[in-house]
Amino acid sequence: MAEKRDYYEVLGVDKGADKKEIKKAYRKLAMKYHPDVSEDPESTEKFKEISEAYAVLSDEEKKQTYDQYGHAGMGGFSQEDIFNNVNFEDIFRGFGFGGSGGASGGGFESIFDLFGFGGGHRNGPRQGDDVGYELRITLEEAATGIERDIEVPHKKICPHCHGAKAEPGTDTKTCETCGGSGQVRHVNNTPLGQFATVRPCSVCKGEGKIIETPCSECQGKGIVRKTSTIHVKIPAGVEDGSRLRVPGEGDAGVRGGPSGDLYVMIHVKKHKLFHREGSDLTYEMPISFVQASLGDTVEAPTLDGAVDLKIPAGTQTGTSFRIKGHGMPHLRWNGKGNLYIKVKIITPKKLSPKQKELLQEFAEVSGDEIYAEQKGLFDKFKDAISH
């Protein structure tokens, strides 16, 4: 299956485009690719693509989810959810043409029929929305893995009416406006032919029945908002930005549909010592000029406690030493990454008279060696700029 294109790319707009620009771009492309007017053999698929992009980017909530997580964030939305509340009739009515009839004579089929979820399916069981939860953990917790109870607000089936929406023991009657189907069909004439839309009945709100006595606990909604305590397990080695799925702990489904899922977004806090790159850690360790020159054995911090690290004589600033197996655990296989100790030679800011005397003596003794080093670097610079 081909990878989905970026929605902004599909419509040809920038990420900072406002609703007006997004709508204008969609209208232009819709006129070009609608199957009733386009001769392009791929017009149907292109029309579906631009319509889906518009449905997401024209909805503030869906757009925010897409901007943050991309197509992965839309995984919890069905095609029906994506197109819910999008007024395509208004889009095409606004083209500014007069008269009726269409170029194709075949009628302007509804967006919902084109995508294959028109008719009674819209009033059937529907999965509940997914719910997101952001969890902040430390690098140490990410290294060992943790189990934690989190408090998640979500929608659940009303325990009083069990989702029936009516007060237990009361009667309901069939809606006369839609005849119990829960939906009504509107047909409008456009320059491209007839444009048909199927919408939930405004009288019964798509239920097909009239509830005379709403449930006293959920006020006739069938669901209640509550906060549940959910136990989650965070695996060792989890990275910042990882998403943990907890099936069935999202919002309750509609009309008997299954519940959505809970997605726990993991944020690993920055560590005061270590910088993480995948499964490896880096620590910048300060050492003195004497330690770098003469060599030394120092204690290097790790997530598992301090370990001895040998600094060879003559070590230069920026040199890295690898401590194998002291990084982060791998998520998909056994073992750990490495810890890299990058040394940084610290120059003292204040010197005693004795220290200055010794350093001056050192400079005199090693002057030829330092001068040769400087001269070599200068010669290399001259060679570089002369070519």
276-302: average pLDDT: 94
Fold of the 128-163+220-269 domain: HSP40/DNAj peptide-binding domain (2.60.260)
DSSP state letters, 222-234: SEEEEEEEEEEEE
Q: If pLDDT is split at 50, 70 and 90, which confidence band does 109 have?
A: very low
- Which residues are CB-contacts of 120 (< 8 A; sequence separation ≥ 6)? 181, 182, 183
Cβ–Cβ < 8 Å for 200, 126: no
90-119: average pLDDT: 44
Q: Which residue has the higher pLDDT, 93 or 321?
A: 321
DSSP state letters, 97-125: --S---SSSS-B--HHHHTT--GGGGGS-
Q: Which residue has the higher pLDDT, 35 or 61?
A: 61
Give burial (CB, 10 Å; 0-12/13-18/19+) of 42. Answer: exposed
Region of poorest pLDDT, from 54-63, 98-107, 278-287, 363-372: 98-107
83-100: average pLDDT: 55
Question: What is the model's pLDDT at position 80?
Answer: 66
- 94 has a pLDDT exceeding 50: no
Q: Which of 209, 200, 203 is nearest to 174 (CA)?
A: 209
Strand partners, 166: 214
Q: Is 158 annotated as a binding residue?
A: yes
Q: What is the pLDDT of residues 200-225, one digit of tens each?
A: 788 887 788 888 899 999 988 889 99
Distance between CA atoms of residues 109 and 236, nearest Å: 52
357-377: average pLDDT: 66
* DSSP type of residue 334: S
Q: Is 178 annotated as a binding residue?
A: yes
Q: Is 383 annotated as a binding residue?
A: no
- 276 has a pLDDT exceeding 50: yes
Distance between CA atoms of residues 342 and 108, nearest Å: 67
Q: Which of 82, 83, 69, 88 is nearest to 31 (CA)?
A: 88
Q: Is 142 annotated as a binding residue?
A: no
Q: If pLDDT is split at 50, 70 and 90, which confidence band does 351 have?
A: confident
Helix axes 367-386, 353-365, angle to 10 degrees: 60
Distance between CA atoms of residues 146 and 237, nearest Å: 10
Q: What is the pLDDT of residues 143-201, one digit of tens each?
A: 999 999 999 999 999 999 988 889 998 988 999 888 888 888 766 665 545 555 667 78
Cβ–Cβ < 8 Å for 119, 209: no
- 227 has a pLDDT exceeding 90: yes
Asked whether the domain spanning 274-346 has the same topology as the one spanning 128-163+220-269, the reply is yes
Query: Where does 114-273 show beta strands of DSSP type E?
Result: 131-137, 146-157, 172-174, 183-190, 193-200, 209-211, 223-234, 243-246, 262-268
Q: Is 200 annotated as a binding residue?
A: no
- 108 has a pLDDT exceeding 60: no
Question: What is the model's pLDDT at position 232?
Answer: 95
Question: What is the model's pLDDT at position 309?
Answer: 95
Cβ–Cβ < 8 Å for 343, 367: no
Distance between CA atoms of residues 164 and 155, nearest Å: 15
Q: How far apart are the first and last CA of the chain?
A: 53
Domain 7-96+109-115: give its CATH code. Answer: 1.10.287.110
Q: Is 185 annotated as a binding residue?
A: no
Domain 274-346: give its CATH code. Answer: 2.60.260.20
Distance between CA atoms of residues 337 and 340, nearest Å: 10
Q: Is 215 annotated as a binding residue?
A: yes
Domain boundaries, the chain: 7-96+109-115, 128-163+220-269, 172-211, 274-346, 361-386
| Angstrom distances, CA of residue 152 to CA of 134, 177, 226, 252, 332 | 10, 39, 8, 13, 28
Q: If pLDDT is split at 50, 70 and 90, which confidence band does 64 have?
A: confident
76-102: average pLDDT: 56
Helix axes 43-57, 19-33, angle to 10 degrees: 170
Average pLDDT, the chain: 81
pTM over 0.85: no
Give burial (CB, 10 Å; 0-12/13-18/19+) of 10. Answer: buried
Cβ–Cβ < 8 Å for 108, 186: no
Cβ–Cβ < 8 Å for 110, 195: yes
